[in-house]
Chain A
Amino acid sequence: MMTVPTPSLFSRIGTLVRRERQTRFAGGALGLLWAYLTPLSWIAFVVIVFRLLGRVPPIYVAPEIFVATGVLPYIIFRQTITSLGRTLPANRYLRYIKPVDENELLMASAISELINAFIMSAMVFLLLTTVFGIPGPHQLGGVAFVFGVAWFLASGVGRLFAAIGRASDSFARAVPILLRPMFWLSGIFYTATELPGSVQDILWYSPTFQVTELLREAYFIGYTSPISDLYYPLLFGGICFALAFPIEKAILKNGLSRERL
């Protein structure tokens, strides 16, 4: 039997990403479609609530696109964190195939979510422009970049949560509860311009609110956020990412990991 050299890191990550995309929603009839149906149903739900409450977007745009620019970064944030949290327990036996390790599994999961994020966003924007006749993004490159920022932020936070989750099952289970307030703090229903200064000062510290504001600046012509700061979510994600490694090392060194191989 022909033996080829051990595959490169790049090649292994590519394989793990394809495997992750095939197995993430395996078992159900709709498979990977769930990754795209979930945000669509969220947007539809929030738009219906918007209309029922008679709420008018604070910017002169259709409610559908206003909600979409709020929900999409939040969903990217949430799904990436959830995916990173589940990948180590779900794929732990892949670590038998050396040199696959935890970092490769997490990286593959994050890249898979990045692909999902772009496909999902493109689907939503295409649907809104073709079906509802809503104008496309003012700065397409800027919008794509902000989605990348949302993913980077989520990858950092998700990496940290995955590290802590290796020690505590309760923490891993509590992550969805911890993320719930972010739904209200992400600016899905409002913009910074309509908030009082004191509330703006507090919400400045919400990295997902910053991302939403950045996205709306890039999408809507003429919208300028009084609080948006590109460096804050990047720094937040970067610090979380960097913190994950010493925490994980301490957990493994002290035998606190709950994983069984």
Chain B
Amino acid sequence: MIALEDVTMFHPKSRKRTLLLDNVTVNFGAGEHVGILAAQGTGRSTIARLLSGIEDPDHGMVKRHGSTSWPLGFAGFLHPFVSVADNLKYLAELIGLPAVELIGFCHEFIGPEFVPFKKVQDLAPAERLALAYACSIAKHWDCYVVDETVSVGDKEMREKCDAILAQRTQSAGIVILSRSVPTLKSHADRYYVLLGQSLRPCTDLDAAADALTMHRTDQAGQSEVARFSRTK
């Protein structure tokens, strides 16, 4: 369960206090599959980190019951100069999994392309993405947070990703932030739209997408007017 109580959050950018969430109160229950429709550039990744517990809100409180994943597929913590096996060993110790099991899971998930003694910097981009995805889904979390990346790699790997995510979320929750309506529809059954620094519940995603487009067009129009007024 993740509950946001009167949460206000600014974009974490020095001296530019762009508001992302304004006094938001929302509750994602245990085991719920929630989709958040969010346009590009609205702070989707920051909100994903907030839900994962990686960032704290500027005001308000985020309550969590149970474990929450980091955004699926994130690869930043894999050290490029260290072997895959050593990276996995450290990760296993930090998240509370036996190293042998984490390495075994990654091997099974990635298949013959899994090369434990290769340094991460020597992996092909697709291999690295697959490894990062396997790392993030290896542990049984109570809630999975997705920041646009639902699956990675080629068609076969994407199918594997979809299958494991579906299997994991049978007994766990998921909060998925995306700008894609079909992606949200295929993974969630309750929806919100991030509109005007607020998370608004919605039942019709297509209508929400239209509203989002209109809102952004309106905003763009307003800023054009403001720019025109300044230049005059």
Which residues of A does B touch, CB under 8 Å? 1-7, 11-12, 15-16, 18-19, 22-23, 26-27, 92-98, 100, 167, 253, 255-261
Contacts and interface: CB of A to CB of B under 8 A. Distances in A.
A3 B77 contact: no
Given A6-B96, A26-B81, 16 more contacts: A1-B105, A2-B97, A2-B98, A12-B94, A22-B82, A23-B81, A26-B82, A92-B76, A95-B54, A97-B94, A98-B52, A167-B14, A255-B10, A255-B58, A259-B12, A260-B12
* Interface of A, helix, strand, loop or mixed by DSSP: loop
Contacts of B97: 1-4
Contacts of B53: 98
B12 A96 contact: no
A260 B53 CA distance: 15
Contacts of B96: 3-7
A98 B70 contact: yes
Interface in B47-66: 49, 52-55, 58
Contact of A257 (B14, B54, B90, B139): B14
B39 interface: no
A256 B15 contact: yes
Given A1-B138, A97-B95, A255-B10, A15 B52 contact: no
A20 to B, nearest CB: 10
The residue among B71, B91, B94, B101 with the most chain A CB atoms within 10 A of its own CB is B94
Nearest to A12: B94
Contacts of B101: 1-2
A4 B14 contact: no
B12 A98 contact: no
Contacts of A257: 12, 14
Contacts of A100: 94
B162 interface: no
Nearest to B81: A26
Given A23-B79, A98-B53, A261-B54, A7 B10 contact: no
A96 B10 contact: no
A27 B81 contact: yes
A2 B71 CA distance: 22
A1 B68 CA distance: 17
A93 B58 contact: no
Nearest to A25: B81
A149 B93 CA distance: 31
Interface string B18-53: 000000000000000000000000000000010011
